[in-house]
Amino acid sequence: MDLLNALVAFLNFVFIPALAYGSQLALGALGATLIYGILRFSNFAHGETMAFGTAITILLTFGLQALGITFGPLPTALIALPLAIAATALLLLGTDRLVYRFYRDAKAAPTILVIVSLGVMFIMSAITRFLVGVEDIAFADGERFVVTARGFRDWSGLEEGLAIRSTQVITVVVAGIAVALLFWFLNRTRTGKSMRAFSDNEDLALLSGINPNRVVAVTWVIVAALATTAGVLYGLDKSFKAFTYFQLLLPIFAAAVVGGLGNPLGAIAGGFVIAFSEVMVTYAWRQVVAYALPGDWAPAGLLQIMSTEYKFAVSFAILIIVLLFKPTGLFKGQSV
């Protein structure tokens, strides 16, 4: 019986990866849910927006590195992030001006906007591929680890190692800061309040003199910031490949729906629910259980509920269950 080893194995292989992944999903889901709440459509181009923002960050990072500018132990990409957010915001505002505004003025049904966003997705993914290509790009620099597996093992004398990558810490910290800023903005500032009013009741908001174009523009800028941050954190923590962001679309929407579409708090909760479910359902629990149980009670099987190939099936299953039994999500959002 060795509860300490069980705990460390759990932290190392389940808790820490799921926490980082959950933070990335939460940021992504926040962007998707904001668009749904205020612009009233599911933005299929959200994953590609993340990819575009990350691509710009990568280019800027390489530029900074070429100039000899680094961020000490932290990744240089964090310096590049604000500029990349600005570039992404310009792209999104441009897209809105060229594409979405036409359909908004025509009072197009949300379904049509969803299909329009699908088209935008293809264009954006092409732009991203054109900018940085389809190869695997590693752009994380600085210190790689806060705690290394071997270092921890030597220090603690335990059998199991615990690794904490600096990108995981950065992800959680940056996600925390971004969420705090967002909530402060939505709850304390005049523009934020007008956005919430617009989301709750568009007609009433217009009657009380809220400028819809301004609300829309601010929403896109915030979405650009959230999407780029989420994309960069994901790319730093894992690796950047242009097309993997498309695969993130499903867990992101699952997170947004689980939390309640249009509800920012729900998006965050949903992100963590999805991330922890994905990791815990596909994790083989044998080792943790073997440490926790006394003596030779160790199970022969792997204690794996689902093989890892079905990782995305988990978010899909959760999505369907929530839509069937609680269409408004865990926190009260709009039903789909």
Q: 3-state SS of the chain: helix, strand, coil percent to 5?
A: 75, 5, 25
Q: Based on the shown chain and the rule CB under 8 A, indicate whether residue 12 belongs to the binding site for other proteins.
A: yes
Between CA 10 and CA 4 the distance in angstroms is 10
Among 13, 36, 44, 253, binds other proteins (CB under 8 A): 13
Residue 52 amino acid letter: F
Q: Name which of 48 and 96 has its Cβ closer to other proteins.
A: 48
Contact pattern for other proteins over residues 230 through 259, marking x by CB under 8 A: ----xx--xxxx-xx--x------------
If one asks whether residue 285 binds other proteins (CB under 8 A), the answer comes out as: yes
Applying CB under 8 A, which of residues 68, 157, 309, 325 lies at the interface with other proteins? 309
Stretch that binds other proteins, among 36-44, 61-69, 77-85, 308-316 (CB under 8 A): 308-316
Residue 284 interacts with other proteins (CB under 8 A)? yes
Whichever of 46 and 165 has its CB closer to other proteins, that residue is 165
Indicate which single residue of 131, 149, 221, 313 sits in contact with other proteins (rule: CB under 8 A). Answer: 149
200 binds other proteins (CB under 8 A): no
- The verdict on 165 binding other proteins (CB under 8 A) reads yes
State the helix-helix crossing angle for 166-188 and 264-282, rounded to 10 degrees: 160
Neighbour-count burial for 112-125, b at 16+ CB within 10 Å, e otherwise? ebeebbeebbeebb
Query: With binding defined as CB under 8 A, does residue 308 bind other proteins?
Result: yes
Q: How far apart are CA 336 and CA 330, in angstroms?
A: 13
Closer CB to other proteins, residue 113 or residue 249?
A: 249
| Calpha distance 185→58 (Å, rounded) | 28
Three-state DSSP at 192 gives: helix
Judged by CB under 8 A, the residue of 136, 143, 154, 200 near other proteins is 136
Taking CB under 8 A as the binding criterion, the range among 60-68, 114-122, 156-164, 169-177 that sits at the site for other proteins is: 156-164
Q: What is the DSSP string of 208-274?
A: TT--HHHHHHHHHHHHHHHHHHHHHHHHHHS-B-TTHHHHTHHHHHHHHHHH-BT-HHHHHHHHHHH
* Residue 302 in the binding site for other proteins (CB under 8 A): yes
Q: Are 292 and 228 in contact (CB under 8 A)?
A: no
Interior angle at CA 174, CA 118 and CA 219, nearest 5: 40
State in angstroms the smallest separation of the CB of 279 from other proteins. Answer: 6
Shortest Å, Cβ 100 to other proteins: 28
Question: What is the spatial distance between Cα 217 and Cα 213, in angstroms, rounded to a whole number?
Answer: 6
Least distance from other proteins to the Cβ atom of residue 252, Å: 14
Closest listed residue to residue 163, CA positions, set 15, 285, 6, 274: 15
- What minimum distance in Å lies between the beta carbon of 143 and other proteins? 13
Specify the residue, 98 or 134, whose C-beta has the smaller distance to other proteins.
134
Q: Which of the ranges 143-151, 169-177, 212-220, 317-325 carries the binding residues for other proteins, by CB under 8 A?
A: 143-151
Q: Would you say 158 and 5 are in contact if contact means Cβ atoms under 8 Å apart?
A: yes
- Least separation in angstroms between CB 295 and other proteins: 16
Is position 161 an interface residue for other proteins (rule: CB under 8 A)? Answer: yes
Question: 146: closest CA among 120, 172, 117, 110?
Answer: 172
**What is the Cβ-side half-sphere exposure of residue 231, based on CA atoms within 13 angstroms?**
35
Minimum distance of other proteins from residue 17's CB (angstroms):
4
Binding site for other proteins (CB under 8 A): 9, 12-14, 17, 21, 136, 138, 144-145, 148-150, 152-153, 161-163, 165, 234-235, 238-241, 243-244, 247, 278-279, 282-288, 290, 302-304, 307-309, 311
